[in-house]
Each structure stands twice: as structure tokens, then as C-alpha cells.
């Protein structure tokens, strides 16, 4: 295994991790921004008010994209196991 293989594998891992985290993070960002806009417009500064909409939004995002996330993880793991003999050679 050369240093190029290690860097390529690390790049793939980071790319898959970013793709898997994106739906949850973007949903949380959008919901948090919308709640903060509403809070600033109504001048209600309650910290617990932003928690429930974020929780609901992230739950919906996981329900919608969960199958895709699981498929992506399984595909990456299978490709990793199939490519393992070539990496160790």
C-alpha cells in the first residue's frame, strides 16, 4: 500500500462522510435560520423554541434520506472490501 493509495482512500472516506452528513446538516441549518428569523421578527428570545423544530426537521430528513444513506454506506463498504486485496498487494 503506497502513500497515494492511503490518500485516495482517505479522500473517498471524507467524501462519503460529507455526503452522508449533508442532508441532516443542511436541514438543521435551514430550520435554525428560519426559526431565528421568526424569533428576531417577533422578539421572542427563547432558546428552547428552536430545539423542537430542528428535531422535527432532522427527523424528517433522516426518514426521507435514510434509505439513500444506508445504500451509500453499504456500497462504499462493499467496494472497500472488494478492493482490499489490491490495496494489500
Under the banding of pLDDT at 50, 70 and 90, the label for residue 62 is very high
The predicted-structure confidence for 38-50, as pLDDT tens digits, reads as follows: 988 888 877 778 8
Q: Is the pLDDT of residue 80 over 80?
A: yes
**pLDDT for position 86:** 85
| Residues whose CB falls within 8 Å of the CB of residue 76, separated by 6 or more in sequence, listed in order | 12, 16
**pLDDT for position 56:** 95
Under the banding of pLDDT at 50, 70 and 90, the label for residue 3 is confident
Specify burial of residue 54 (Cβ count, 10 A radius: 0-12, 13-18, 19+). middle
Euclidean distance between CA atoms 4 and 43, whole angstroms:
54
Structural domain spans, the chain = 21-88
- Mean pLDDT of all residues belonging to the chain: 92
Under the banding of pLDDT at 50, 70 and 90, the label for residue 23 is very high
Amino acid at each position: 500500500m503506497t502513500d497515494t493509495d492511503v490518500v485516495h482512500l482517505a479522500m473517498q472516506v471524507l467524501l462519503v462522510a460529507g455526503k452522508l452528513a449533508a442532508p441532516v446538516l443542511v436541514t438543521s441549518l435551514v430550520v435554525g435560520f428560519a426559526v431565528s428569523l421568526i424569533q428576531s421578527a417577533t422578539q421572542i428570545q427563547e432558546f428552547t423554541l428552536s430545539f423542537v423544530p430542528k428535531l422535527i426537521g432532522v427527523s424528517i430528513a433522516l426518514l426521507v434520506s435514510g434509505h439513500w444513506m444506508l445504500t451509500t454506506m453499504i456500497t462504499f463498504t462493499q467496494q472497500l472490501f472488494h478492493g482490499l486485496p489490491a490495496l494489500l498487494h
